[in-house]
Chain A
Amino acid sequence: AQKITQTQPGMFVQEKEAVTLDCTYDTSDPSYGLFWYKQPSSGEMIFLIYQGSYDQQNATEGRYSLNFQKARKSANLVISASQLGDSAMYFCAMREPDNYGQNFVFGPGTRLSVLP
C-alpha cells in the first residue's frame, strides 16, 4: 500500500491566488514527521515546511502553511498568493522510525503551474 498519496498529478493556479496541494499518509507509528519539498526544473529539492505528529498547531512558513488533520491522516500544503516562481514539482514526504533509525518515504508529487 502507498504510504504517501498525492492525488493531483498536476494543478493550475492563477497568479496571486491561493492553492492547496493534497497529501494523505499511512502509518501506524504515533511518532512521525511530515514534510513538503519543492523541486524546480533545476532538480534541487527545496525544503518548505515540516509538521511533527505531536505538534498542536499547524506549521506555517511565510506563504506556506500545512493543513494538518491527524485523524484523517492528511497534510495538505497551502500556498497563498501564488507567484510565477512557484511553478515546480511538489513532494509530500513522511519520516517514521524503523529498525535502523529513521525512514523517509516520498509521494509521487504534484506539478504546480502558476498562470500569469
Chain B
Amino acid sequence: SAVISQKPSRDICQRGTSLTIQCQVDSQVTMMFWYRQQPGQSLTLIATANQGSEATYESGFVIDKFPISRPNLTFSTLTVSNMSPEDSSIYLCSVLDRAYEQYFGPGTRLTVT
C-alpha cells in the first residue's frame, strides 16, 4: 500500500485567512482525493485531484473556496480559503492504488477561531 503524508498535521487559524494542506505519496498514483470530516460526522468527498487537469469538485464544493493543485503524480495541495469556524474539520487526502483500493493520509485537523 502507498505511504501518504500530510502537512500540517493540525493548525489553528483565524477566520478570513487561508491554509494550504500538502499531501505527499511515496509512489506515483493516478487518482488522489480530498475529503472533509466535520466533527462527529462521516467523510465527505470534496474533489478528485487529477494530474495535468483541473480538479473535479463534488456538489456543494467550489474551486474558489477549495482550490486544488496536482503538479505531479506524487503530490497535491488543498487550500481552504477565507476560512470561517464552519470550516473546522479534519481534511484527509487519499489515493487509489492499482487494485482500486483507497488509502488515506493521517489527516489535517483544522480549527478556525
Contact = CB atoms under 8 A, between A and B. Distances in A.
A2 B1 CA distance: 29
Q: Dominant SS at the B interface?
A: strand
Nearest to B90: A43
A47 interface: yes
Contacts of A45: 43, 92, 94, 104, 107
Contact of B48 (A43, A46, A100): A100
B45 A104 contact: yes
Contacts of A107: 42
A68 to B, nearest CB: 16
Contacts of B99: 50
B79 to A, nearest CB: 20
B102 A43 contact: no
B96 A102 contact: yes
A104 B33 contact: yes
Interface string A84-104: 000000010101000011111
A45 B41 CA distance: 13
Interface of B: 1, 31, 33, 37, 41-45, 48, 56, 90, 92, 94, 96, 99-104, 106-107, 109
Interface of A: 33, 35, 37, 43-47, 50, 52, 91, 93, 95, 100-109
Given A45-B107, A93-B43, A102-B96, 9 more contacts: A37-B104, A45-B94, A47-B101, A47-B102, A47-B104, A50-B101, A95-B102, A102-B100, A104-B102
